[in-house]
């Protein structure tokens, strides 16, 4: 079969997860992969809309737009508790006042954007920018507040910013579910058998990272926005967990509830899950 195209972000959790697969230290069997594309998650989200890659990391928000073309792998996802996006500002602002303010979001298809729209639906003056530019834009007064993700969670205090709302904590309170940030998806056109082999390969890559984290670190640090060892380690510890090994019933339920909330709010289109299984592990038997 032809090599499969693969994309993931340069963030430490993704480079941790895909180190073994991308460096050929696990056996993928008869699968072959092209050189991976490392791109900002919003770029990967937009590529998924165009069905550009065979296997890719995307935001769970973006999943709500592409579930007819992609299904979710049980391994490699970013879900958890206490790890959601934060709304920050240069000074304390009552969250009720955000409705009349300019707020930066890290891309329209990010989970952070959907969470913020659910949290503050009256706030419509949203400014899209790369996640690593948001804190500086808030400091300079270009926007009144910003929704930050990734390593920014660990450094916003050093930038003199104030947290107005932890959106992950808010989500956990209203839903009782862990926050589904991102997932790994595969094109349905690959076929059930290939998708399940890809899922096992990604799971093996995750397992390698847990068993030999020190071997992954040079690759992780080479691509991380933040190079301080403690920030890289905190990032991995927060975003790579048992859900990354396998979503399980709890992880799958969290993603399903998140998508349904987005549809009920009118942010997401009607889903394809009624006709197509959302998760790879629910596909037909491998032959």
Question: Does 201 belong to an annotated binding site?
Answer: no
The token pair at 284 is: 């037909």
The dotted CATH code for 6-79+179-282 is: 3.40.190.10
- Distance between CA 67 and CA 150 in Å, rounded? 24
75 annotated ligand-binding residue: no
In residues, how long is the chain? 287
Catalytic position from the list 51, 61, 65, 150:
150
Q: CA of 127: how far to CAs of 118, 216, 284, in Å?
A: 16, 35, 42
Supply the pLDDT for residue 100: 86
Same fold for the pair 6-79+179-282 and 86-175: yes
- Name the CATH topology of 86-175: D-Maltodextrin-Binding Protein; domain 2 (3.40.190)
57 is in an annotated binding site: yes
Q: Is 162 annotated as a binding residue?
A: no
CA 86/CA 83 separation, integer angstroms: 9
Instruction: Say whether 86 sits in a helix, a strand or coil.
Output: strand
Helix H segments across 23-151?
A: 41-49, 60-66, 111-119, 134-139
Q: Encoding tokens for residue 32? A: 């072959």
Confidence at residue 274, expressed as pLDDT on a 0 to 100 scale? 59
Q: How far apart are CA 160 and CA 150, in angstroms?
A: 18
pLDDT for the residue numbered 273: 53
Query: Is 150 one of the annotated active-site residues of the chain?
Result: yes
Q: What is the DSSP string of 128-182?
A: E--GGGHHHHHHTTSSSEEEE-TTHHHHTTTTT-EEEEEHHHHHHHHH-S-EEEE
Please give the pLDDT value at position 231: 80
Q: Model's pTM, two decimal places? A: 0.93
Is residue 111 annotated as involved in ligand binding?
yes
- Going from N- to C-terminal start, the domains of the chain cover 6-79+179-282, 86-175
pLDDT value at position 230? Answer: 82
The predicted structure's pLDDT at residue 154: 82
Averaged pLDDT, groups of 10, the chain, 287 residues long = 94 96 95 96 96 98 96 96 94 90 95 96 94 94 94 86 96 96 97 97 98 95 80 86 96 96 92 77 68
């Amino acid at each position: 079969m032809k090599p499969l195209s693969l994309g993931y972000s340069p963030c430490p959790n993704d480079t941790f997860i895909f180190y073994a697969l991308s460096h050929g230290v696990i056996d993928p069997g008869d699968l072959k992969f092209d050189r991976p594309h490392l791109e900002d998650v919003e770029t990967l989200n937009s590529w998924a809309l165009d069905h550009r890659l065979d296997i890719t990391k995307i935001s769970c928000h973006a999943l709500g737009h592409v579930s007819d073309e992609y299904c979710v792998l049980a391994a490699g996802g970013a879900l958890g508790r206490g790890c959601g996006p934060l709304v920050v500002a240069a000074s304390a602002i009552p969250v009720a006042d955000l409705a009349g303010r300019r707020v930066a979001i890290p891309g329209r298809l990010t989970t952070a954007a959907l969470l913020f729209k659910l949290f503050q639906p009256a706030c419509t003056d949203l400014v899209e920018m790369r996640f690593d530019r948001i804190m500086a834009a808030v400091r300079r007064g270009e926007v009144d507040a910003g929704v930050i993700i990734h390593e920014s969670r660990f450094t916003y205090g050093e930038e003199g910013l104030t947290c107005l709302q932890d959106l992950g904590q808010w989500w956990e309170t209203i839903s009782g579910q862990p926050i589904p940030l991102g997932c790994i998806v595969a094109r349905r056109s690959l076929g059930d058998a290939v998708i399940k082999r890809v899922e096992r390969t990604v799971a093996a890559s995750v397992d390698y990272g847990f068993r030999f984290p020190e071997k992954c670190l040079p690759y992780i640090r080479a691509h991380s926005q933040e190079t301080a060892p403690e920030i890289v380690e905190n990032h991995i510890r927060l975003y790579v967990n048992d859900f990354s090994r396998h979503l399980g019933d709890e992880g799958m339920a969290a993603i399903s509830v998140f998508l349904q909330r987005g549809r009920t709010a009118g942010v997401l289109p009607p889903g394809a899950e009624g006709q197509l299984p959302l998760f790879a592990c629910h596909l037909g038997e491998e032959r």
